[in-house]
Amino acid sequence: MENNQVSYIKADGNKIINEKYIKWITKIDDCLELCTRSVGCGTNDGTTHKICKINSLDSYNKLKKFFE
């Protein structure tokens, strides 16, 4: 991806996320949990976004390749 291109992924809950701002991703079963906050996120404090295979298959597949 070139520097001037903006790439987005669809998260659960009808949210669209700019890939440039993803700080970390963790895999939990058939879902991915990710943080976009510059100061970090806690996994159980409501500051993360979920991308589940059943809800957002294209985005899930795009990011899960990093775990293979």
Question: pLDDT band at 1, cuts 50/70/90?
Answer: very low
pLDDT tens-digit series, residues 8-55: 999 998 899 999 999 999 999 999 999 999 888 876 777 899 999 999
- CA angle, corner 66, sides to 1 and 8, nearest 5? 40
Q: How far apart are CA 54 and CA 36, in angstroms?
A: 22
Residue 58, classed as helix, strand or coil, is: helix
- How much is the pTM? 0.80
Cβ atoms 23, 40 nearer than 8 A: yes
Q: What is the pLDDT at residue 25?
A: 93
* Domain chopping of the chain, boundaries: 8-67
